[in-house]
């Protein structure tokens, strides 16, 4: 029963929004600022992307370190592979 009430409520909300936009279009016309809403949305999405970009860089660096940890050093005489020596130039904490 609650699903039906939510569905009816959302349908009424959409209908009210459509009717209000039609009323404003009749009252104010289409306007020259058409597309301003989408431009604002694009700007907002660019801001979100800029906020998430440093987090993505950290993820990429962690993935690169994980791949480097999997590398092995092969012996030319056919001996068993040994783990690659740890590079300590980046500092003591490599977590």
pLDDT 10s digits, 12-53: 999 999 999 888 888 877 766 556 677 777 888 888 888 888
Q: Considering the domain boundaries, does residue 44 fall inside one?
A: yes
Residue 84: pLDDT band (50, 70, 90) is low
Q: Domain range spanning residue 63? A: 36-70
Q: Considering the domain boundaries, does residue 16 fall inside one?
A: no
CB atoms within 10 A of CB 27: 7
**C-alpha span between 64 and 61 (Å, rounded):** 5
Give yes or no for a contact between 94 and 85, defined as CB atoms under 8 angstroms apart. no
In this prediction the pTM is 0.33
Q: Considering the domain boundaries, does residue 10 fall inside one?
A: no
Q: Considering the domain boundaries, does residue 14 fall inside one?
A: no
Q: Considering the domain boundaries, does residue 58 fall inside one?
A: yes
Q: Considering the domain boundaries, does residue 65 fall inside one?
A: yes
Looking at the structure of the chain, the number of domains it has is 1
Q: Considering the domain boundaries, does residue 49 fall inside one?
A: yes
Q: Considering the domain boundaries, does residue 25 fall inside one?
A: no
């Amino acid at each position: 029963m609650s699903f039906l009430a939510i569905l009816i409520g959302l349908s009424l909300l959409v209908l009210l929004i459509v009717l209000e936009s039609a009323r404003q279009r009749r009252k104010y016309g289409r306007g020259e600022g058409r597309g301003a809403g989408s431009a604002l949305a694009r700007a907002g999405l660019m801001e979100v992307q800029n906020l998430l970009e440093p987090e993505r860089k950290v993820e990429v660096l962690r993935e690169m370190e994980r791949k480097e940890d999997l590398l092995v050093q092969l012996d030319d005489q056919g001996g068993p592979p040994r783990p690659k020596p740890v590079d300590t130039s980046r500092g003591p904490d490599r977590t």
